[in-house]
Structure 1
């Protein structure tokens, strides 16, 4: 159990599992992050040997970045918002298209303390997972409870890492 100054132990341990289990089957991963701002990629790269698994990460915090880097259609964001299953789906698909990864996870959400609404309160986070060669992309919206922005981002990163484990769906 290496000492890490940057991450809580649960985040490091799960990132280590992602690296170990994907490396064992020769699978590459990519991550498209919005509200987590690179936290998932940073956790993965904290693990020695991560270069054998992590192909690349996209930190697409703005709507323009989602469109330019991942090819998310503007009409999806304009109609449904940046925090929607359709946007996360397009982000995950874009991460697969613009990488050499076998599997990609996308995260978009409202970490707070501001930005929430009646329909999408703070803690609303959407996750999507895409696999190369598969047409189906799984997207799911969750309501995370946390004591603040850092806790919501931490929970979101853990969920995203779980989705990168082999056998996750």
Structure 2
């Protein structure tokens, strides 16, 4: 299974070896990504924290997502996923952050976004190894999943962990 405990262990090992701090910004997954990471022994060496921000107000107050954009577009957009990931970098002074936002269902959200629509983003501090502070979006994904609410959330956790692992592997091969 993608996003298995093996994936979480790989993320923790790669981040620890690189001396990088991880964070999450979660709406759809409500903290399940950070929970999967901290299930791994030794996670305290590299997991700074995770923010479960379900409401627009929490996304704005905790992660700094523009409230006017949230009101205009809703929370299920690539732009909001990017802003959430950047916000988690700042909130936790982390080097990499992954975000999840989407509609788990069972039906569409109040804006008509279909269940199974998910946006994820990974933000990285430029020169994370050197302590630079300018973030960039390294990876992003838009998913259109089918299945139950629990299944959509679980697959979103799996993809978030896969994205973290992919970026950490890339960084290990070609550091900034």
TM-score relative to the length of structure 1: 0.87
Name the count of aligned residue pairs: 161
Q: For the aligned residues, what is the CA RMSD? A: 2.1
Structure 2: any 5+ residue segments left out of the alignment? 127-133, 172-176
* Moved segments of 4+, more than 4 Å: none
Contact kept in structure 2, 1:162 and 1:168, CA below 8 Å: no
Q: 1:40 aligns with which of 28, 33, 44?
A: 33
Deviation at residue 142 of structure 1 after TM alignment: 1.4
User: How many angstroms apart in 2 are the aligned matches of 1:168 and 1:66?
Assistant: 29
Change beyond 3 A, Cα 1:97–1:10? closer
Deviations 1:64-121 (A, max 9, x none): 1100100101111111110001111110111111112100011000011133479621
Q: Which structure has the highest helix share of the two?
A: 2
The 5-angstrom pairing of residues 5-154 of structure 1 reads 10-116=3-109, 120-133=113-126, 134-137=134-137, 138-145=139-146, 147-154=147-154
User: How many angstroms apart in 1 are the aligned matches of 2:111 and 2:54?
Assistant: 22
Contact kept in structure 2, 1:40 and 1:161, CA below 8 Å: yes
Name the counterpart of 1:167.
169
TM-score relative to the length of structure 2: 0.84
Deviation at residue 11 of structure 1 after TM alignment: 2.5
User: How many angstroms apart in 1 are the aligned matches of 2:71 and 2:111?
Assistant: 18
